[in-house]
Structure 1
């Protein structure tokens, strides 16, 4: 059935503010995230133990609060209120961090206000999903990929800009500007985004009848698979500067150029995968992306020169674009009545991957940074196996035809 022009107009009026929110959130997080360890070391004067504890507890607290908020958001029509709460928490946390230099006060701010601000990312995706479902559900993956691309663009521009501000004015201004971005988000939500209803359950009249929810085992296998491949992505970025300098005889500048090349290729590929998702199954595109990741890690493991590693960034970018751009929509398709929980499960795989990558990085420091890519190759094989095992099955749900399939699988 064709979507009425009025519905298209209403959807566009909501997607433009959402796009601005993703840019603002991307700028705020990219201003402070890459320099957190430097902030703890130079501004707070925290020792190695305190810094390590902070860097581990911060993502763990974010995972825990995002999970709780994600479950709450699907039970009541309060997603708009949660977006406002997350933005205000981000403003308060960043504004306080701009001036506070006491380690334990900052620790308390991080596990409460900053962790709550972290819910903006998954909750905005969940809001976008509900808006897109009201318009043209078949183009949901393309819409989500486009919004995810804007976040990536903000992260390409944010860290270099933050470095300039940091060099001239210090951490007070970088955190202050991050706080301003959260105010912008709150104002956009208040002015332009109405509340959306609670997602329809699989037996409710407004639900998509051909979209029964996937079983718990399928979801657990997928979350494990995505966590494993995210760990490989994180470890690959962490090891790149030292791998290039220690193993390939290059410089830190060479490593930066390679990482920048990957980011530049990743953005159009993410949009391309979004367009392909209107014609091809999401599952097939994600599997293709993980296979590209597997091939990249194999090439990196045996690479003998910088140009080989640079040429292989096309595979790495396809890996990141497919998993990063499509996994959110795929999980939302499998849990259509729980977009908040589905999005949170996927976005939480990144901070968990950061934590899991830490001991692997330690091994690479001990035995050589080429080992990091050998470990990544094994992780990609494991991740691919888990994702292939997690094939959604037909489920007999009351009011749903027995031959109905979970979307995104055919």
Structure 2
């Protein structure tokens, strides 16, 4: 299921701007509007779906419905080349299809919590690795299909993989019960830091998100992840031009750098998942944030390509921690609401991508090395927020929900 979901996105997303520019003949303004409206609409729809999915036992049906929306959207994109029809499609069918990714993680969380609670964090990391594997071959496969048959084959493959995901959900996945709402309680005496004034006063929906910490901890944690997602997008966008103009090397070397990082991510993500059974999630997240700050600082001052390549070790460790363990970390902040929690986390990527756009324009004006300087500052701010919020989260070695 995760591999099918990953392929359906990996064959379309990298070539979306090319599709709009060459096949749809959209002008630059239309392309920009489309690329901004699409993720923002996806954030709104996924958030609404996430809230609904935690109230009733309908998560499996949501998976089926989201996959079928993906089938419809991809089939229309195979043949239609009218910009406004495709724009309406991105605001409706593809927006609902976007909820398939967070809802798959939410479904997995419920199954893992029920069947093997002590291995939940490791299981989530393993599934995130499967999604990453789909991105290893997906873009390359899409490039081949473009050469052979154009965008009709690309969107045809996307429709087929969405259909496969729907079939798997219908035939093999069982429906799960609605998550049991957690009862808000005061932080216990063994919390990492003293209770807040609101929490000390007693249970309150405004004061706490759940037994893992106060509500403000949840929202500041989400802000921290957004701040860390911006450099991930900005760094990739600026990398080829940075290598060519500042490091005086071939821009195509960016592919080798990104490939090296991706190759390191997979074993590191699995390794960090295994470590969640022995170490606190907070510890792994903070190590990841520190590595991210270190990598962008290295890239900012890198004198040549070899230093940048060596830095991919800490970059891969950062991405593995934030993308793998980060999902479980946020889920633990909203016990009993896996749909909403996972959606809050996954929404940090499109929001970060939107913020990265204007910063890329700034880097184009001041030099592409400045992109990594801005990324270092954003990463540092995100890391500091994680340090502050982690002090208020009850330490936990496992990914299980707190005892109710």
Provide the TM-score with structure 1 as the length reference: 0.89
Q: After superposition, where does 1:109-188 map in structure 2 within 5 Å? A: 109-188=89-168
Displacement after TM superposition at 1:224 (Å): 0.1
Q: How does 1:336-347 map to 2 (within 5 A)?
A: 336-347=335-346
- Paired position in structure 2 for 1:284: 283
Cα offset, 1:392, TM superposition: 6.0
Is 2:122–2:277's contact at 8 Å kept on the other side of the alignment? yes
User: Residues of 2 paired with 1:360 and 1:129: CA distance?
Assistant: 35
CA distance in 2, matches of 1:60, 1:255: 28
Q: Is the 8 A contact 2:278 2:397 kept in 1?
A: no
SS in 1 for 2:268: helix
Distance 1:212 1:49 in 2: 47
Tell me how many residue pairs correspond in the alignment: 375
User: Which structure 2 residues correspond to residues 60-79 of structure 1 after superposition, within 5 A?
Assistant: 60-79=40-59
Alignment of 1:390-405 (within 5 A): 390-391=389-390, 393=392, 405=394
The aligned counterpart of 2:81 is 101
Shift in Å, 1:243: 0.6
Corresponding residue for 2:304? 305
Query: Offset at 1:391?
Result: 2.9
Alignment check: 8 A CA contact 1:214 1:406 kept: no
What displacement does 1:390 show? 1.2
Distance in 1 separating the partners of 2:298 and 2:212? 38
Select which of 158, 163, 169 maps to 1:189: 169
Q: CA deviation at 1:101?
A: 0.2
Task: Write the deviation string for residues 1-59 of structure 1: whole angstroms up to 9, x where unpaired.
Answer: xxxxxxxxxxxxxxxxxxxx110011110100000000000000000100000000000
**Mapped contact 1:218–1:392 kept (Cα < 8 A):** no
Distance 2:108 2:368 in 1: 40
State the distance in 2 between where 1:65 and 1:224 align. 19
CA displacement 1:224-280 (0-9 Å, x = unmatched) = 000000111111111111111111111122111011000000111000100111100
Q: d(CA) in 1 for partners of 2:357 and 2:252? A: 23
Per-residue deviation, 1:406:
6.3
Instruction: From 19, 31, 39, give the equivalent of 2:11.
Output: 31
Q: Deviations over 1:352-390 (max 9, x none)?
A: 000000011001111110000000100011001111121
SS across alignment from 2:303: coil
Alignment-derived partner of residue 31 in structure 2 = 51
Q: Which residue of 2 aligns with 1:334?
A: 333
* Alignment partner, residue 363 of structure 2: 364
Q: Bigger shift: 249-258 or 74-83?
A: 249-258
**Paired residues of 1:98 and 1:176 also in contact (CA < 8 A):** yes
What is the Cα-based RMSD across aligned positions, in Å? 1.6
Uncovered stretches (5+) of structure 2, i.e. residues with no partner: 185-189, 191-209, 400-404
Separation in structure 2 between the aligned mates of residue 97 and residue 175 of structure 1, nearest angstrom: 7
Alpha-carbon deviations, 1:279-317, whole Å to 9, x = none? 001111011011011111111111111011001100110
Per-residue Cα deviation, 1:314-366 (whole angstroms, up to 9, x for no partner): 01101100000011101111111100000000000000000000011001111
Partner SS, residue 80 of structure 2: coil
- Residue 274 of structure 1 pairs with residue 273 of structure 2: yes
Q: In 2, Cα distance between the equivalents of 1:276 and 1:360?
A: 35
1:80 aligns with 2:60: yes
